[in-house]
A = this chain, B = another copy of it.
Amino acid sequence: MRLSRFYLPILRENPKEAEIVSHRLMLRAGMVRQMSAGIYAWLPLGHMVLRKIEQIVREEQARAGAVELLMPTLQSADLWRESGRYDGYGKEMLRIQDRHERDMLYGPTNEEMITDIVRRDIKSYKDLPFTLYHIQWKFRDEIRPRFGVMRGREFLMKDAYSFDLTEDDARKSYQKQFVAYLRTFGRMGLKAIPMRADTGPIGGDLSHEFIILAETGESEVFCHKDLVDLPIPPEDTDFDGDLSPIMEERTSLYAATDEIHDAQRFEAEVPEDKRLSARGIEVGHIFYFGTKYSDPMNAVVQGPDGKEVQLQCGSYGVGVSRLLGAIIEASHDDNGIIWPEAVAPFKVGLINLKSGDADTDAACEDVYGKLTGAGVEVLYDDRDERAGGKFATMDLIGLPWQLVIGPRGLKSGVVELKNRATGEKEELSLDAALSKLIG
């Protein structure tokens, strides 16, 4: 992508409304703009990262055997009356009346709707088990939206729902999502720690939050230090095999959010030098809740013995749009964002130090063609701007590599390659730079 043809409105000043660094940087880097309180437009740069994150989520859901569908944003209130959650959900639910005065709502989550979908078509235990998920916009009418996309009102969530015949099977489905989450967040360069958590309005008796440690986190968390640096499960993990050892390794050491933290247990179980108490950002939350919805909504199948059995269910959420903020909170410096390569909007920022200079333009065009031809995503700053401004923009938007080409270097046959994360700069031949980036 040529910057002259992209849409990247950089802000020089720190916007006043932004209280935390991720919000500030997302505004300054031209990634989002607030359209109403807690409602954001995703400008091209932000949208690209959103799609990268979505894609990782999607790949890991598929690996775990979950199948994607897409439910609508608006729901009928009747479904929520059936489950009994309509009245209790409070003002965070955005209630709507259509032109025929039917009660609707903008879905904050989809347990009721997916249960309705499944109960219509699934009649036999032979059709089980399965896990369905979608990535769709949700709405929670927060009284005081803040922190940019971290606590917005309209937000993008991946929510998966598992359907099983028995509690044992349901726990296996839970394990699959648990392991998928470790891989999902790990691939994004995040250290997400699963912690025992309160089940809140979703309900159920088994639940984990996936927490990223960050000073700006909204909740206090407590865990054993050894949990922080555990490796992520490998790509060839057999999701049809026994996942208990992975889950065991992650859940046998103490880790809990403040709602259910037990200080006495923490001190008894964790040696003092291993006790970590910190602030964290929730990026995922998973629940096993059995028949909490299948019971009132009569979602049943015929079991092997011919008798009706209520479906055993769980739900599994990832805060997709929130993850952008969380990743930036975990990965930035004074000059801007530092994208982990897996979610970077482009891998390389190509800086033309003297746009208009025939040789430099030709060299840049050549490199741009070769990199994009090799499938490397490049943002080429081809604008007629001062070098200082170009460097500052590239640092701000945080692409993993900056390739700098100018007339002086070209004369001696070298270009400069900068690693955004480490700040290391290297002078090398154009070919060496290309082969490093194409890999």
Binding site for B on A (CB under 8 A): 5-7, 9, 30, 33, 35-37, 39-44, 46-47, 50, 65, 67-76, 91-92, 94, 96, 98-99, 102, 104, 106, 113, 116-117, 120-122, 130, 132, 134, 137, 139, 141, 143, 153-154
Contact = CB atoms under 8 A, between A and B. Distances in A.
B41 A70 contact: yes
A119 to B, nearest CB: 11
Most buried by B among A30, A50, A67: A67
A70 B99 contact: no
Contacts of A42: 69-71
A65 B120 CA distance: 44
Contacts of A141: 98-99
- Across the A-B interface, give the 7 residue pairs with the lowest CB-CB distance, nearest first: A9-B121, A42-B70, A91-B99, A36-B76, A41-B71, A47-B70, A39-B72
Contact of A137 (B37, B72, B98, B139): B72
A153 B74 CA distance: 10
Contact of A7 (B9, B130, B139): B130
A325 to B, nearest CB: 16
A212 B104 CA distance: 34
Contacts of A153: 98
Contacts of A99: 91-92, 94, 141, 143
B73 A137 contact: yes
The count of identical subunits is 2
B69 A117 contact: no
Contacts of A94: 96, 98-99
A189 to B, nearest CB: 23
A98 B105 CA distance: 11
A320 to B, nearest CB: 12
A165 to B, nearest CB: 15
A5 B65 contact: yes
A68 B39 contact: no
Given A44-B69, A94-B98, A122 B9 contact: yes
Contact of A69 (B47, B102, B130): B47
A352 B91 CA distance: 53
A41 B113 contact: yes
A41 B115 CA distance: 12
Contacts of A143: 99
Nearest to A152: B72
Contacts of A96: 94, 96, 106
A102 B72 contact: no
Contacts of A154: 72-74
B121 A72 contact: no
A397 to B, nearest CB: 15
A123 to B, nearest CB: 9
B69 A36 contact: no
B50 A70 contact: yes
A411 to B, nearest CB: 30
Contacts of A130: 5, 7
B35 A75 contact: yes
A93 to B, nearest CB: 9
B70 A35 contact: no
B74 A139 contact: yes
A139 B154 CA distance: 15
A133 to B, nearest CB: 10
B116 A72 contact: no
Contacts of A67: 5-7, 44
A7 B39 contact: no
Contacts of A73: 73, 137, 154
Nearest to A122: B9
A121 B33 CA distance: 10
A268 B263 CA distance: 89
A172 B39 CA distance: 33
Contacts of A113: 35, 41
